[in-house]
Amino acid sequence: MPTTTTRPSRGSELDLSVESLAYGGAGVARLDSYVVFVEGAVPGDRVRAVVSRAKRSYAYARATEILEPGADRIDPVADHPGAAWQVLAYGQQLEVKQAQVEDALRRIGGLDGFALEPIVPAAEQWRYRNKLEYSFGGGPGDRLQCGFHAPGRWDEVVDIRDCLLASAAANEARERIVAWCAARRLEPYDRRTGEGLVRNLVVREGRRTGDLQVRLVTSDGELDRQGLATAGEGLAGVLWTRISSVAEVTQGGETEVVGGSEWLEEDLFGMRFRLSPEAFFQTNSEMAERLFEIAVEFAQPSGFERVYDLYCGIGTIGLLMAPRVGEVLGLEIVPEAVADAISNARANEIDNARFYACDVRLALRELSARAGRPDVLVVDPPRAGLSRKVMRRIVEASPRRIVYVSCNPTTLAPNSAQLQEAGYKLTRVRPVDMFPQTPHIECVALLERSG
């Protein structure tokens, strides 16, 4: 353990050799036994890095110069910070993600005896996202910029013309709205001063339907509604959201439809799904199908099961399972998403699925008492995983199988360990690469009740 005199301070400049990648994408370097997590570096790199935060036994830093590139580093393709792992060959990205899932389960969860199946590679390595949130930047008198925040900077936006994570059609829709804002000299919002109007632009696409929706997010103020609608003419929807908070958010506030429809439509598995402007939906439509197919496979439906679908969103997993089971009961805290789920069940003529707007923590016990215990429980929680209270309610419900769809293996691991202590065994885990060129990992895990 280094002493306080050897520990680097904030702003220190270090010469570091990167050994590996940590979960989340940072490179791992060492000063003797002191660990430094380095953003913007990959294994084999020797970099100059500046410390942004220092703790007792580790620090965070950002690479400012590649002194010697690692043997596995390749030239980047996209000129923006939304694809941090593009400097690694795709095969290596998959290897690292597979290894990180195993490390989380064994080291964090202390788990063993499960089958870790090969990661499912992405169908497309670029232009795969059906939703992107851009930020506006610039200053008084400067050309309006629209892109992504520079790494570690909320006061600097990297301007994007062709986002390689979006389709050509989505990029064209984005450029039309940005050009309209620039022509009217709309000022970007400045969080420090509270001045300016335009904050974010959300572009959403139905990959199978071809529908495109744009949502301009601004501070409180006035806007030429007709002009905005004309700029987005021909799109499925043109929306305007006004937000009064200082925070960098695109949800909440007041949303108004200025052109087209409020909803976006997408096709999955031959079914049509309606999405509200703020409803959650997997941002890679093609790989969402693979992810949900694995969830159904792990559920092992035989035609008669009662399935609980927790954090069900707009009902995608539950509605996919419905024709294969006895009944589906979905819980979701966002009322708009539940309204979408009910509408989606009706549109697809599914009559054995019911959805409820409620807090899983409070409603699961009552649902189990009224509807009966589930045979299969599907859970797709946020990145923070399941709280201890939700875990207790799941154990009380006593499903035979739990299908856990995870966007974060470092929370899947402790949740699985807690369920194992309660009498479940982790039997299968299959990673799915939903987000090529980034460190994000999705998994589907199966836990089965012992005995």
Helix axes 388-397 and 409-421, enclosed angle (nearest 10) = 50
Q: How many CB atoms lie within 10 A of CB 408?
A: 20
What phi, psi does 69 have (nearest 5°)?
A: -70, 145
Length of the chain: 451
Q: Exposed (0-12), middle (13-18) or buried (19+): which is 176, by Cβ within 10 Å?
A: middle
199 Ramachandran zone, left/alpha/beta (phi>0; psi -120 to 50): alpha
**Residues paired with 432 in a beta bridge:** 120, 442
Show Cβ contacts of residue 445 under 8 Å, excluding neighbours closer than 6 positions: 298, 403, 404, 406, 412, 416, 426, 428, 429
Active site residues: 407
The rounded distance, in Å, linking the Cα atoms of 84 and 39 is 9
Show Cβ contacts of residue 126 under 8 Å, excluding neighbours closer than 6 positions: 77, 78, 164, 165, 436, 437
Contact 80, 160 (CB under 8 A): yes
Report the run of H or E that residue 292 belongs to, with start and end. helix 285-299
Alpha-helix runs per DSSP H in 137-183 = 168-183
